């Protein structure tokens, strides 16, 4: 089995979000995929298989399988385009737990992913002070998404400097806690961060799926559909976002760090 280490949402190695991409030619057990993901210890390991009408794509964190992952989708598409498994003039269709996902290659070298959008719902039952006491900054809103919590931080600089305790965040959502703030400077509209200790991820470097939620949120707040976003993790990552009806187009670049052959061990 071929395994590729790809950095997504960047054109520089060791920036953006690293993902492992496994090109699967023979069936693998779920147990094997989960154990390999734990061994890789990256936020996601992707498993890609050719099908009659596209490609099957599954994503595993070190702790469990997840229904949607942006950066590992970008990494998987990058591998298919760069290895010639798909012509760069064609559109890739991935069949996933979140339905069909489409990825196109641009002449600039960027990739455009077509994902379903999801609008968060404001939670009026929570006490903002509870969150502010833990984080030490002003929280403008708390919103709910299935299995996730979204905090809107008033000041972008506060968001950039946060170091929240994982044991507390693990109680705020089943999967993870998204945080975002409007910035509107240096070519960036808004910034974000994502913490998912329950998925085995203290902080995800760059989170594609989160922006399918943040894009419709900020579109409603700011009255526009195109954004330049930056995820302010230690590695950091940039992306361009377009809200098109009920879909979000996420544009970014990727780069290969290495690839290798991996023996398949029955587990």
DSSP assignment of 227-264 equals EEEEE-SSS-EEEEEEEETTEEEEEE-EEEEEEEE---
Mark whether 45 and 75 lie in a shared domain.
Answer: yes
- Which residues span the domain enclosing 76? 2-116+251-261
Would you state the pLDDT for residue 267? 63
Number of domains in the chain: 2
CA distance 60 to 93: 19
Catalytic residues: 44
How far is C-alpha 200 from the geometric centre of its chain's CA atoms? 15
Q: Burial level of 1, CB count in 10 A (0-12/13-18/19+)?
A: middle
Mark whether 127 and 233 lie in a shared domain.
Answer: yes
Single out the residue of 247, 267, 265 nearest to residue 112, CA to CA: 247
Mark whether 78 and 109 lie in a shared domain.
Answer: yes
Mark whether 76 and 173 lie in a shared domain.
Answer: no
Helix, coil or strand: residue 110: coil
CB 159 within 8 A of CB 232: yes
Q: Provide the 8-state DSSP code for 71.
A: H
Please write the tens of the pLDDT for every residue from 254-264: 999 999 999 88
Mark whether 106 and 171 lie in a shared domain.
Answer: no
pTM comes to 0.92
Helix (H) or strand (E) holding 59: strand 54-60
Mark whether 95 and 156 lie in a shared domain.
Answer: no
Single out the residue of 142, 92, 99, 72 nearest to residue 247, CA to CA: 99
Q: What is the CATH classification number for the domain harbouring 84?
A: 3.10.310.10
10-residue mean pLDDT profile of the chain (267 residues): values are 96 95 94 96 96 96 93 97 97 96 96 96 93 97 96 98 96 96 96 95 94 98 98 95 97 97 81
Please write the tens of the pLDDT for every residue from 131-150: 999 999 999 999 999 999 99
Instruction: Specify if 267 maps to a domain.
Output: no
Instruction: Specify if 246 maps to a domain.
Output: no
CA distance 70 to 207: 6
CA distance 73 to 128: 34
CB 188 within 8 A of CB 230: yes
How far is C-alpha 219 from the geometric centre of its chain's CA atoms? 19
CA distance 259 to 264: 16
Would you state the pLDDT for residue 8? 96
CB 177 within 8 A of CB 151: yes
Mark whether 91 and 58 lie in a shared domain.
Answer: yes
């Amino acid at each position: 089995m071929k395994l590729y280490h790809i950095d997504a949402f960047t054109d520089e190695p060791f920036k953006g979000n690293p993902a492992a991409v496994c090109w699967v030619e023979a069936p693998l057990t779920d147990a094997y995929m989960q154990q390999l993901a734990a061994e890789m210890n990256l936020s996601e390991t992707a498993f890609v298989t050719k099908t009659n009408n596209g490609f099957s794509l599954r994503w595993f964190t070190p702790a469990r399988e997840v229904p949607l992952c942006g950066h590992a989708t970008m990494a998987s598409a990058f591998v298919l385009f760069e290895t010639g498994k798909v012509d760069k003039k064609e559109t890739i269709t991935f069949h996933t737990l979140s339905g069909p996902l489409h990825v196109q290659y641009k002449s600039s070298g960027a990739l455009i992913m077509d994902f379903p959008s999801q609008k968060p719902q404001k939670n009026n039952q929570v006490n903002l002070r509870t969150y502010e006491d833990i984080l030490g900054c002003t929280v403008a809103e708390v919103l709910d998404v299935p299995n996730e919590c979204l905090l809107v931080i008033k000041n972008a600089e506060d968001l950039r400097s946060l170091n929240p305790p994982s044991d507390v965040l693990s109680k705020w959502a089943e999967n993870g806690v998204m945080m975002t703030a409007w910035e509107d400077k240096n070519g960036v509209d808004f910034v974000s961060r994502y913490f998912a200790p329950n998925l085995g991820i203290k902080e995800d470097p760059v989170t594609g799926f989160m922006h399918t939620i943040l894009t419709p949120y900020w579109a409603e707040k700011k009255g526009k559909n195109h954004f330049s976003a930056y995820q302010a993790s230690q590695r950091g990552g940039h992306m361009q976002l377009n809200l098109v009806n009920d879909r979000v187009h996420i544009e970014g670049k990727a780069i290969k760090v290495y690839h290798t052959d991996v023996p398949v061990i029955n587990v």
